[in-house]
Amino acid sequence: MREKVRNIRLGKLTAEQNIRNFILKIKKNNKKINAVLHLNPDAIEEAKQVDKMKKKGKLAGIGVVVKSNINVNGLIANCASKTLEDYKSSYDATVIKKLKDEGAVILGMANMDEFASGSSGESSAFGVCKNPSALDRIPGGSSSGSAASVAADFCDFSLGSDTGGSIRNPASHCSVVGMKPSYGAVSRYGLIDLSMSLDQIGPLGKSVEDIELVYNVINGFDENDGVSRNFSSEKMKKSLKIGVPFVNADEQIWDIIKIKIQEVCDGQGWKADDIELKHIDLGIQTYYPINYVEFFSGTRRFDGRKYGKKIEESCGEEVLRRILGGQEISQAEFAGKYYRRALIAKKIIEKEFVEAFKKYDCIIMPTVPKLPHKIGEKISVEDSYDYDTLTVLANLAEIPAISIPVGDVGGVPVGIQILCARGNDDFMLNIAKVFEK
């Protein structure tokens, strides 16, 4: 992407050409993939404006696909739900404003699991999204269209949101890079939230370098997001200590991850040790009660008066499960039992990671513990939540995590996940670059 930006700035390539190419490709191939729900009708016009500008910006003429739960002025942000089917945004989310200020052009809005609830891309009200890297398999989710758009070369990069893995999970299944920043590192202003204490917006792209370029544009304090802040990351070091926790995952996936860790350690003279994290098995039981309760509370505004339809009457099965479940456990008599206990468990997990990062520079494990299922295959709710066991940890601990492609099992892509201490996002990106080589 750096090379492309350079060429656009030098006039060797125009923003218009770049954007036209992507629009053509989307028009030609999206029917097969269903990654993009709406094109930006003004994209080419906006690209022409970039070409006319004197000072072109760090992302001049770069084409972006945006998850449909992030507000882009004038475009439809329907969260892939009938509830918000025709909801047109009237403002730009902070991340969108920052991207536009640097010359990026929004190509369109991506398909996703309805209201970001899911890990397969199958719960969209507008049809399942396909996995361009393994066509009969699910692309993962909930940022399915964002990952598939990168894999199908519909854009230079995309934006997703990650509450319990929704950037990293589809990145892993579609063989692209996906980063969840530290909680607070990127403004959530303009994100239609799933679970506000866990949500983060982040980039998906073709390389770690591209992700770094985007992250450097979108991060930082924003007065519109009370929890956002500026972090200062550790500098890259020569010798690194990696912690490798024992977690349950498909053996074939673990084999690939272990070989990669060994290879990097041998090449760099880094050390990897087994590390015990006693409470990470609690991840799913901690994550879902928080998610249900915060989602239930957040959806009270979708009562059919101001935005779209009444959610309970227009949403799909998984969204309804969370609303009803969240309502149930929010009741006074259960709140202490589930929600508050989940918050205590979240703190324990957070602390466990803080301690681990005193001894280790990063922690490495698979991104997803199993291979993506075939599209159409029926799986249980438990099996669907199992996809999240290794990704929810970073959200609960509020730390940065990245998934990068590491290989495949019988042609199905596998991602490796790198986690670092909160605020060490740049440091993590530097480690990821070494693993990517």
Least Å distance, CB 113 to ligand GLN, is 7
Q: How far is the CB of 142 from ligand GLN (least distance, A)?
A: 4
Q: Which residues are catalytic?
A: 67, 142, 166
- Between 160 and 205, CB nearer to ligand GLN: 160
Distance in Å, CB of 117 to ligand GLN, minimum: 5
Cα(144)–Cα(112) distance, integer angstroms: 5
Shortest distance (Å) from residue 3 CB to ligand GLN: 32
Chain residues in the site for ligand GLN (CB under 6 A): 116-119, 142, 161-166, 194, 291, 388
Q: Alpha carbon 368 to chain centroid distance?
A: 13
Spatial separation of the C-alpha atoms in residues 437 and 435, rounded to whole Å = 6
Q: Which is nearer to ligand GLN, 198 or 264 (CB)?
A: 198
Question: Nearer Cβ to ligand GLN, position 63 or 141?
Answer: 141
**Smallest distance from the beta carbon of 298 to ligand GLN, in angstroms?**
13
Nearer to ligand GLN, 111 or 166 (CB): 166
Shorter beta-carbon distance to ligand GLN: residue 185 or 194? 194
Nearer to ligand GLN (CB atom), residue 165 or residue 405 = 165
Provide, rounded to whole angstroms, the least separation between the CB of residue 294 and ligand GLN: 11
